Amino acid sequence: MSFDYVGFAIAFTTVYGIYSMLGVSLNLEYGYAGQPNFGQVLFYAIGAYVAGTIAANLLPMLAGVATGNICDVSSLVQREAIAIADPVISVSVWVLALIFSMAAGGIIGLVVSYPALRVKEEWFLSMILLVAGEMFRIFVQNTQQVGCGFNGLAGIVNPLNWIEKYFPGSQVLQAEVPSGLYAGIVLALAIACFLIAQRIGNSPYGRLLKSIRDDKVASESLGKDVSKVRKQIMIIGSIMAGLAGALYVYYIGTAVTDDYIPAVTFSIWVMMILGGYANNRGLLVGAFVITMLDRGSLVLGVLMEGWFPNFNPSLLIYARYMVESVVLILLLVFRQKGLFPETRIKTKAYTLFDFGASKAQGKKEPVTESLTEGSKQGEVQSNQVATDSSLVDSDTSGGSSRTK
């Protein structure tokens, strides 16, 4: 059995970009703002189902074809034909699906934050979000009218599949070129989310988030509206998670509730803790490790099934979660701040001082030299003071002797 290295690289890049978005959104909510979210998969699933529903309804509508029942096989085939035949409609619907998914994620994040933020303890918020995520999954799974129920909503075609028309003689290129371009787009959007998170973290707003995380009572005493800030960061994180869900459903082609179980949230937490709280660069490393576990377990399961026909590949998927659990336990025991602990915030004012300027230019800090010069000046001044005081004492003693 030959191994498809190109296909693996495309799949790895796509999933890595999606996991990075999810990790960055959680890092903003908890790493920076100290707001635990055990229901991250809720916004991920909402983005996926909103994108799938829009694609299933808008594709035939814009093509002038009756929509019918979006769950039927005939409707699925119709959507695939439209997406390949008309590039403008395919890309336009995809862009609209991304926009509506982000909007839906932000709105749900705002709605959920109202009852969740009224509780006094932050961990009550995490429990509320965890329950909300599981409620959404069970509701969609048992409701045929929403996302086609248990069977899921299929026929969500890659928006770039129409490119395969330009490679009529190669089935490999027909599959890999659209998927490769889509993987590049996903990675570009992940980089955009990373840069936004970096900008937020190094801004005064990022310092406000950390102050609320470290001591919300002190922040409130200084006039900061803690509830308002928490709502804002929930909306920002939920928008990113909704975008990740929309990109995932277009990649996988089907919206199924089994892809949005609480274990997904657990994996996002592991990648964030592994990389380090409030450290977006470290989070990218954590996302890389988790993606390697995810894709590696799937590939190894397929290979093992080919080598041993009676082997169950699902065992490796469960083993992946066990490995993540062991990694999490080891981190909590030996490395609570992750592999890459939180670094100082670098603002524009940071480079105005000698320390920031030397760091920006890659030079050594002139702290030792400044201290040496300061100590020398201090010694000169102290010697002068000692000399003056001795002269005063001699004058005083001379005056007193003359008086006698």
Please indicate, yes or no, if residue 294 is contained in any of the structural domains. Answer: no
Per-residue pLDDT for 10 more than 50? yes
With beta carbons less than 8 A apart as the criterion, state whether 228 and 19 touch: no
With beta carbons less than 8 A apart as the criterion, state whether 255 and 147 touch: yes
- Compute the distance between CA of residue 174 and CA of residue 79 in angstroms, rounded to an integer: 18
Within 13 Å of residue 177, how many CA atoms lie on the same side as its CB?
14
What digits encode the pLDDT tens for the residues 130-172?
888 999 999 999 888 888 888 888 889 899 988 887 887 777 7
Please indicate, yes or no, if residue 403 is contained in any of the structural domains. Answer: no
Please indicate, yes or no, if residue 28 is contained in any of the structural domains. Answer: yes
Using N-to-C axis directions, what is the helix angle for 87-116 and 40-62, rounded to 10°?
Answer: 150
120: phi then psi, degrees, rounded to nearest 5: -80, -40
Structural element, H or E, at residue 153: strand 153-154
What digits encode the pLDDT tens for the residues 310-319?
888 778 888 8
The one-letter amino acid code at 148 reads C
Domain count, the chain: 2
Q: Do 71 and 197 fall within a single domain?
A: yes
With beta carbons less than 8 A apart as the criterion, state whether 40 and 25 touch: yes
Please indicate, yes or no, if residue 289 is contained in any of the structural domains. Answer: no
Name the pLDDT band for 402 (thresholds 50, 70, 90). Answer: very low
- Compute the distance between CA of residue 34 and CA of residue 264 in angstroms, rounded to an integer: 20
Please indicate, yes or no, if residue 192 is contained in any of the structural domains. Answer: yes
Q: Do 250 and 363 fall within a single domain?
A: no
- Compute the distance between CA of residue 290 and CA of residue 16 in angstroms, rounded to an integer: 9
Task: Identify the domain boundary among 214, 231, 261.
Answer: 261
CA-closest candidate to residue 22, choices 186, 240, 192? 240
Please indicate, yes or no, if residue 231 is contained in any of the structural domains. Answer: yes
Q: Do 243 and 367 fall within a single domain?
A: no
| Reported pTM | 0.82
With beta carbons less than 8 A apart as the criterion, state whether 130 and 38 touch: yes
- Compute the distance between CA of residue 347 and CA of residue 356 in angstroms, rounded to an integer: 9
What digits encode the pLDDT tens for the residues 193-251?
999 999 999 888 999 999 988 888 898 888 898 888 988 999 999 999 999 999 999 99
Q: Do 242 and 121 fall within a single domain?
A: yes
DSSP 142: T
Residue entry with tokens 């977006």: 280
The residue count for the chain: 404
Task: Identify the domain boundary among 261, 285, 319.
Answer: 261
Q: Which pairing describes strands 254-255 and 153-154: parallel, antiparallel, or unpaired?
A: antiparallel
Percent of the chain having pLDDT more than 70? 83
Q: Do 240 and 375 fall within a single domain?
A: no
Q: Mean pLDDT throughout 272-294?
A: 93
With beta carbons less than 8 A apart as the criterion, state whether 302 and 314 touch: no
Please indicate, yes or no, if residue 27 is contained in any of the structural domains. Answer: yes
The per-residue pLDDT of the chain, averaged, comes to 83
- Compute the distance between CA of residue 114 and CA of residue 104 in angstroms, rounded to an integer: 16
Per-residue pLDDT for 95 more than 70? yes
Q: Do 256 and 378 fall within a single domain?
A: no
- Residue 378 domain boundaries: 355-386
Tokens matching residue 155 = 């026929």
**Alpha helices of 202-313 — where are they, by DSSP H?**
204-214, 216-221, 226-252, 262-275, 280-307
Tokens matching residue 193 = 């989310």
Q: Do 37 and 185 fall within a single domain?
A: yes
Q: Do 216 and 94 fall within a single domain?
A: yes
Handedness of CA 277, 278, 282, 288 (dihedral sign): positive
CA-closest candidate to residue 208, choices 221, 232, 224, 227? 224
pLDDT for the residue numbered 75: 83
- Compute the distance between CA of residue 288 and CA of residue 20 in angstroms, rounded to an integer: 8
Percent of the chain having pLDDT more than 90? 40
Task: Identify the domain boundary among 198, 233, 261.
Answer: 261
Please indicate, yes or no, if residue 348 is contained in any of the structural domains. Answer: no
Handedness of CA 174, 177, 179, 181 (dihedral sign): negative
Q: Do 227 and 363 fall within a single domain?
A: no
Q: Do 370 and 250 fall within a single domain?
A: no
Per-residue pLDDT for 379 more than 60? no
Q: Do 185 and 80 fall within a single domain?
A: yes
Per-residue pLDDT for 401 more than 50? no
Q: Specify the 3-state DSSP secondary structure of 254.
A: strand
Q: Do 227 and 79 fall within a single domain?
A: yes
